Amino acid sequence: MIDCHCHLLPGIDDGPETLEESIGMARALRQLGFTEIYCTPHSIPGMYETSPQDVLEGVARLQRALTEAGITLRLRPGMEYYLDTFFPSRLVNPQPLGSSRLLLVEAPSWADAELVRRNVLQIVQAGLVPLIAHPERCHLLRVDVPRAGVLGELGRMLTGRGGARGAGAVRFSPFVAELQGMGCLFQGNIGSFAGRYGRQASQRAAGFLAGGGYSCLGSDSHPFYNLDEMLGEGLKKLESLDGGHDQLYRPAVLAD
């Protein structure tokens, strides 16, 4: 099982502060079933000025420590870029996910569609593939899921929308569809399925999954979460939903 989004490197962002803390998180992730982890610290100008060199060195150091501790996890470099107005300068020397062309990016909560669109275009023009982190947490990236039961049926009759039930009835907002058309892929947070980020994010995550909107999943682990609880519940919930999880846990887009 591959984790495409994880704040596991020590002393680099709001992830663990010490190597020991990183090792503890890695042990928990291994026990949950992960075998490969992309270490994706934040890159936010003025807050986390992380360079690809920092990430590569951090990954090598932590990988050695995990081997010594007997934890069989393969670490890979990555970064989580913030799509703000300063973002284009980061494309001079970007750090994609491992040897892929995927660039993990997050839309700031305050960003408007135009800013996201402009940045995405720059990524595509640089020959990279934008992988949007946890779209279910972003207000710009809506997905409509028909409500089940009598209320949903009534709503469908009154509005004439979402006539069919099931996966075919999921509708991505025009902006999500536009980003998909530009070549964007989407990464879901496992904790979203457990309601860790609220009901709306949980409903949107189920919608993205049902509509085939995700290309991969990530833990988005930070030390301030109870990983056993958050990810254990999220993985269990994912088991109960349709959506082709195997491809998401071992995504083709990251194949060597």
The interface region with Fe ion, picked from 76-84, 87-95, 161-169, 190-198 by CB under 5 A, is 76-84
Q: Which residue is nearest to Fe ion (CB)?
A: 220
Stretch 25-64: interaction string toward Fe ion, x if CB under 5 A: ----------------------------------------
Distance CA 13, CA 40 (A): 10
The interface region with Fe ion, picked from 75-83, 117-125, 194-202, 231-239 by CB under 5 A, is 75-83
Half-sphere exposure of 235 (CA within 13 A, CB side): 18
Minimum CB distance to Fe ion smaller for 54 or for 80: 80
Rg, the chain, Cα only: 18
Q: What are phi and psi of 157, to 5 degrees?
A: -65, -40
CB of 127 to Fe ion, least distance (A): 24
Minimum CB distance to Fe ion smaller for 145 or for 201: 201
Minimum CB distance to Fe ion smaller for 146 or for 191: 191
Residue for token pair 């990183």:
22
CB of 220 to Fe ion, least distance (A): 4
Of the candidates 211, 212, 236, 232, the one whose C-alpha atom is nearest the C-alpha of residue 221 is 232
CB of 143 to Fe ion, least distance (A): 20
Of the candidates 207, 204, 216, the one whose C-alpha atom is nearest the C-alpha of residue 139 is 204
Stretch 184-223: interaction string toward Fe ion, x if CB under 5 A: ------------------------------------x---
Residue 3 as a binder of Fe ion (CB under 5 A): the answer is no
Distance CA 211, CA 223 (A): 31
The interface region with Fe ion, picked from 60-68, 77-85, 110-118, 143-151 by CB under 5 A, is 77-85
Distance CA 95, CA 77 (A): 8
CB of 183 to Fe ion, least distance (A): 21
Both tokens of 116, joined, read 């996201």
Residue 80 as a binder of Fe ion (CB under 5 A): the answer is yes
Both tokens of 159, joined, read 């509005």
Total of residues contacting Fe ion (CB under 5 A)? 2
Q: What are phi and psi of 188, to 5 degrees?
A: -90, 150
Residue 36: how many other CB atoms lie within 10 Å: 15
Residue 84 as a binder of Fe ion (CB under 5 A): the answer is no
Both tokens of 175, joined, read 């902006």
Residue 136 as a binder of Fe ion (CB under 5 A): the answer is no
Minimum CB distance to Fe ion smaller for 187 or for 202: 187
Distance CA 228, CA 189 (A): 14
Binding residues (CB under 5 A) for Fe ion: these are: 80, 220
